Amino acid sequence: LDKISRVQQHLTRKHFPDFYCEYCLDTFPDGPSHESHVEARTCQRPSHSTYPTLITHKQQRELSRRSNSHLPAPDQWFSIWKIIFPDTPLPKSPYMDPILPDGLLEFREYAINSGPSLIASQI
């Protein structure tokens, strides 16, 4: 996915479920199971670190807006990042390093973002 519009389309198609609880973010296969869950009012908000890989209605609305084509491409990518990961620092670059395998890239970002707090908690 190398075009911003394609990423926005992918996020809406693959990460925006038809039925999910806006409080606990659980997903449901159909309307009745979703309604039953909501009416039960027994769910709990997940911790930030356990958020699933879905986008909310609010995020979907923000993503559906056309990106500002007057911005440089990296800034357009970062605007998507800020919508999806509002509490996570921006990566140094919006582009993947083609030399590193995906798993290593993910680990590198995790280490940069979570490493200091993990180390501090062990000291």
- Which among 35, 29, 1, 8 is positioned nearest to 17, based on CA atoms? 29
Cβ atoms 25, 51 nearer than 8 A: yes
pTM of the predicted model as reported, rounded to 2 decimal places = 0.60
Which residues, in sequence order, are CB contacts of 28 under 8 Å at separation 6+?
A: 17, 19, 20, 21, 34, 37
Domain boundaries, the chain: 4-89, 91-123
The confidence score (pLDDT) of residue 8 equals 83
Asked whether residue 29 carries a pLDDT value surpassing 90, the answer given is yes
Tens-digit pLDDT profile for residues 103-117: 666 776 777 778 777
Q: Which residues pair with 27 in a beta bridge?
A: 20
Tens-digit pLDDT profile for residues 31-63: 999 999 999 999 888 765 555 578 888 888 888
